Structure 1
Amino acid sequence: MDSFVVEAWINDVTMANAQPDTPSPSKRARRSHHADDEIAFFDLDKTPVRPPQMSAAAGSSTRSASSFPSALASRPAFSAQPSGETSHSDAAPRSRSTSPTKRFQKTESLLGLAVPIQFIKKQTLVAAVPDDVRPLLEALSAVEAGEALLPAALRSHPDFQNDPRIRRHTWSDETQPASAAAAEYAAALHNHEQLRRIVGKSIASANKHRSEAGWNNLVHTPLLEHATLHMPHLEVEPITSAQIMPAFRPLLISGEQVPLPSSETSAAGSSVSGRSGLATSIRRGAAMTTSVHKMVDYALVLRPSDALQALIDRFLEGEPWEKQSINQTRYEPLRAQPAPVFIETKTTSGTQDSANVQLGIWVAAWHKRIRTVASQAGTEERLLTLPVVQVIGGVWSVLYVVDDGTHIRVLDDDCRIGNTNNILGIYQLQASIAALGRWVEDTFTPWVTDLLTRAVENRA
Structure 2
Amino acid sequence: MTGLSVSPFIEEWLDAITQNFEFVQTFEQPSNATPKKRAAKFEYRHSMTTPPPSTLSGQSRRRPASPTKWQRFESEDGNNGEIGWLEGNDDQTPRSNVSQRLPNTNAPPIPFRGFSVPSITPSQSPSLVSGSSNQSPSVAGSERSQARSGRTKSPVKSANSLWALDLPVIYTPMGDDAVQMLPGDVKDLFRSIEEITMDHLEVIPSEIRKDVEAIIPRAARKDDWFRNAQKSPAAHHETPEDETTYPRSHKPQSPLDISLHELDLLRDIGNKSKNCEIRACAEVTWNMLVHQPLFEHALAGHATVQAEPALTAKIMAPFSPATSGRGGGRVIENKMVDFCFTLWLNEGKPRQLEGDDSASSTDASLMSAIANRVWAQPPDAQSVNQTGYPPLQFAPIACNIETKTSTAQQGGQLQLSVWTAAWYQRILKLVPDGVAQHGIITLPLLHIVGHDWRLSFACWRRDRIEIVGELALGDTRTLLGLYTLVAVVRKIGDWVATDYRRWIEKVFLE
TM-score by length of 1: 0.72
Select the residue among 291, 294, 298 that pairs with 2:339: 298
The one-letter amino acid of 1:133's match is V
Q: 1:114 to 1:229 in 2, by over 3 A?
A: same
Match of 1:357 in 2: 414
**Deviation at 1:393?**
0.7
- Taking the aligned partners of 2:170 and 2:336, their CA distance within structure 1 comes to 18
Question: C-alpha offsets along residues 160-217 of structure 1, whole Å, 9 cap, x if unaligned?
Answer: 445447751442252569x979932222111111111111111110111100011111
8 Å Cα contact 1:42-1:293 kept in structure 2 = no
Instruction: Answer with 1 or 2: which has the greater Rg.
Output: 2
RMSD: 3.8
Match of 2:494 in 1: 438
Structure richer in helix, relative to its length: 1
**Which sections of structure 2, spanning at least 5 residues, go unmatched?**
1-64, 83-91, 108-120, 147-151, 239-252, 346-362
Q: 1:92 to 1:310 in 2, by over 3 A?
A: same
Choose 433-442 or 90-99, whichever is displaced more: 90-99
Is 1:348–2:406 an aligned residue pair?
A: yes
> Match of 2:266, SS?
helix
- Taking the aligned partners of 1:64 and 1:316, their CA distance within structure 2 comes to 39
Select the residue among 371, 374, 387 that pairs with 2:428: 371
8 Å Cα contact 1:139-1:435 kept in structure 2 = yes
Is 1:449–2:498 an aligned residue pair?
A: no
8 Å Cα contact 2:204-2:227 kept in structure 1 = no
Match of 1:139 in 2: 192
Q: Which has the higher contact order (CA 8 A, sep 6+)?
A: 1
8 Å Cα contact 1:58-1:65 kept in structure 2 = no
Select the residue among 325, 328, 331 that pairs with 2:383: 325
- Taking the aligned partners of 1:70 and 1:340, their CA distance within structure 2 comes to 57
8 Å Cα contact 1:418-1:432 kept in structure 2 = no
- Taking the aligned partners of 1:63 and 1:23, their CA distance within structure 2 comes to 23
**Deviation at 1:316?**
1.9
**Deviation at 1:318?**
2.2
- Taking the aligned partners of 1:368 and 1:442, their CA distance within structure 2 comes to 24
Question: C-alpha offsets along residues 288-318 of structure 1, whole Å, 9 cap, x if unaligned?
Answer: xxxx434000011111211211111222232
The one-letter amino acid of 1:258's match is V
- The count of aligned residue pairs is 375
Match of 2:95 in 1: 59
Question: C-alpha offsets along residues 51-105 of structure 1, whole Å, 9 cap, x if unaligned?
Answer: xxxxx95439x99954695999xxxxxx9212999x9955997959999645312
Match of 1:15 in 2: none
Is 1:82–2:111 an aligned residue pair?
A: no
Q: 1:206 to 1:383 in 2, by over 3 A?
A: same
Is 1:389–2:446 an aligned residue pair?
A: yes
- Taking the aligned partners of 1:63 and 1:388, their CA distance within structure 2 comes to 37
Q: 1:63 to 1:109 in 2, by over 3 A?
A: closer
Select the residue among 174, 192, 195 that pairs with 1:122: 174
Is 1:233–2:286 an aligned residue pair?
A: no
- Taking the aligned partners of 2:98 and 2:306, their CA distance within structure 1 comes to 49
Match of 2:257 in 1: 186
8 Å Cα contact 2:451-2:475 kept in structure 1 = yes
Match of 1:105 in 2: 157
TM-score by length of 2: 0.65
The one-letter amino acid of 1:111's match is W
Select the residue among 479, 482, 498 that pairs with 1:423: 479
- Taking the aligned partners of 1:253 and 1:235, their CA distance within structure 2 comes to 36
Q: 1:235 to 1:393 in 2, by over 3 A?
A: same
- Taking the aligned partners of 1:65 and 1:349, their CA distance within structure 2 comes to 35
Match of 2:207 in 1: 153
8 Å Cα contact 2:404-2:449 kept in structure 1 = yes
**Deviation at 1:364?**
0.5
- Taking the aligned partners of 1:92 and 1:59, their CA distance within structure 2 comes to 19
The one-letter amino acid of 1:242's match is A
Structure 1 segments of 4+ aligned residues over 6 angstroms from their partners: 22-25, 91-94, 96-99, 179-182
- Taking the aligned partners of 1:71 and 1:338, their CA distance within structure 2 comes to 58
- Taking the aligned partners of 1:63 and 1:339, their CA distance within structure 2 comes to 35
- Taking the aligned partners of 2:131 and 2:158, their CA distance within structure 1 comes to 29
- Taking the aligned partners of 2:478 and 2:99, their CA distance within structure 1 comes to 56
- Taking the aligned partners of 1:253 and 1:297, their CA distance within structure 2 comes to 28
Question: C-alpha offsets along residues 298-351 of structure 1, whole Å, 9 cap, x if unaligned?
Answer: 011111211211111222232222221111111000001111111100001113
Where does 1:24-39 land on structure 2 (aligned, <5 Å)?
27-32=70-75, 35-36=76-77
Is 1:314–2:385 an aligned residue pair?
A: no
